[in-house]
Structure 1
Amino acid sequence: MANEEIYHVPVMLQECIEALDIKPEGVYVDVTFGGGGHSREILKHLGPKGRLIAFDQDPDALANVIADDRFVLVHQNFRFLKNYLRLQGVKQVDGILGDLGVSSHQFDDAERGFSIRFDADLDMRMDQVSDLDARKVLNTYAEEDLHRIFGMYGEVQNARSLAKTIVTARLTAPIQTVEQLKQIIKGNVPKGKEHKYHAQVFQALRIEVNGELEALQEFLLQTVGVLNPAGRLVIMSYHSLEDRLVKNFMLKGKFKGDVEKDFFGNEIKPFDVISRKAITASAEELALNNRSRSAKLRIAAKKVAVD
């Protein structure tokens, strides 16, 4: 099996490629390179003059670099999309693909501290260089801040009592490992829902550590200026917080509130939505790749100005 397949099986691969509507001589961006599965497929559809620029802040992704003159990997977070495209001599592109969330490789690497399956230090940093990791969040955040992130980012039902449990426990000793955290909060976990509850807690910590929702919003706002008219924006998300931001942005060009209107009452929207409903994985893919069960794919095209 190829290295990229071990690293991460690309979700809804063909659906993503179709959504990008690839022009052989076009310029495309894969903002979540990971194992390179989507990028390799995009390159198959590009001609000799086509270009693909990929982004990934995870140092582990560097091992998957594709040896192709049409390809370059930018080792940065996609929140810096516009600046790093400029450094590559690119002002506008024909399509942008984003596969949000954590790769299978990151979940399967015990040392990264992303997974509830392994005991490891509570890390959860995507980039491995930030000062903020999950231990720092758990051991230094005020109780009201922990309450906020567990409630908002994890949608944990008893977020307030969970925050109190953590703040009380850390008075005795710092919370350092996955197993230690699970033991501390076991009294807060509803019976029979252990896996779901732990997943929500870990999701909240990961989003906070990596500033994921802020990065997503910064990135989406830049796509309007970066895409050529009729250029495709193709985003796959894995939880409701991300999906809501993507859906609202594609529909309205903003993350909350009503669509802006001009003096004549015409709606000002940067995109035409291609997928009215989110696209989900086929039954065949669900059987082969469990990670695809929560994936939602949304597609939009940048509006073409009408004279």
Structure 2
Amino acid sequence: LDLGVSSPQLDDAERGFSFMRDGPLDMRMDPTRGQSAAEWLQTAEEADIAWVIKTFGEERFGKRIARAIVERNRIAPMTRTKELAEVIAAAMPVKDKHKHPATRTFQAVRIWVNSELEEIEQALKSSLSVLAPGGRLSIISFHSLEDRIVKRFMREQSRGPQVPAGIPMTESQLKKLGGRELRALGKLMPGEEEVAENPRARSSVLRIAERTNA
């Protein structure tokens, strides 16, 4: 599984994922379903926007950015990615020399609009029903929120069912609970050469687990 938005989606300005290319403020993986980013930002409460930016973008200036977005939409609703990127940049009191000021906020809004983290959790659970014993589950994540979900899933499935201490259970009862589903094999990070060839791989983490015979 290769999580998140793809390079073709980022490079297509009409999809509205990129703050580097001006296009419709959409960000939906499926443009035929749900609210676009522009629609959500125009109707959401300031507190909700701030929560999304902080929670899914891990942006410390979430409240300040949310206030600027709401104030800008009161004047004239934003419909373009460039407009949102400019509002975010103007609201940032401190600029990161190595990261565009809109990076975290665009990530947060995209995750929220597409319910990405819920989709990841569902995909991970579904993988167990199609992965044969000895099969490998390989997952590439691109930010810490995704990686935490993958790491937790593999850890839990590698431990097997947990029985609270002090609860007596027979051997047959323990067998019914089943054994561990996966065996975590570790993780890989991109090397300098790979990052030089593909800068978008910089933050990626590849985690691998093997299906057990349980």
| Superposition TM-score tier, normalisation by shorter sequence | 0.7 to 0.9
- 2:10 aligned counterpart, secondary structure: helix
Aligned with 1:243 (options 147, 150, 164) = 147
Verify: 1:104 aligned to 2:104, yes or no: no
Alpha-carbon deviations, 1:174-233, whole Å to 9, x = none? 111122212323332244327443110110111111111010001111112221222211
Shift of 1:268: 5.2
CA contact (8 A) 1:153 1:204 kept: yes
**Partner SS for 1:230:** coil
Residues 271 and 301 in structure 1, CA contact (< 8 A), matched pair in contact too? yes
CA contact 1:251–1:269 (8 Å) conserved in 2: no
Answer yes or no: is 1:147 the counterpart of 2:50. Answer: yes
Say which of 113, 117, 122 aligns to 2:25: 122
- What letter matches 2:40 in structure 1? V
Counterpart in the other structure of 2:188: 279
Pairing 1:159-170 to 2, within 5 Å after superposition:
159-170=62-73
The alpha carbon displacement at 1:267 in A equals 9.7
- Partner SS, residue 102 of structure 2: helix
Q: Look up the match of 1:202.
A: 106
> Scaled by the length of structure 1, what TM-score is found?
0.61
SS at match of 1:297: strand
TM-aligned CA deviation for residue 148 of structure 1: 1.5
Query: What is the number of residues matched between the two proteins?
Result: 203
The separation in 1 between residues aligned to 2:162 and 2:4, in whole angstroms, is: 33
Aligned CA RMSD, in angstroms, stands at: 2.3
- In the alignment, does 2:197 pair up with 1:288? yes
Q: Which structure features the higher share of helix residues?
A: 2
Structure number having the greater strand percentage? 1
For structure 2, which runs of at least 5 residues remain unmatched after alignment? 164-168
Secondary structure of the residue aligned to 1:274 is strand
Give the TM-score of the pair, scaled to structure 2. 0.86
Give ranges in structure 1 of 5+ residues lacking alignment: 1-97
Using the aligned pairs only, state the percent identity. 38
Deviation of the 1:132 alpha carbon: 1.3
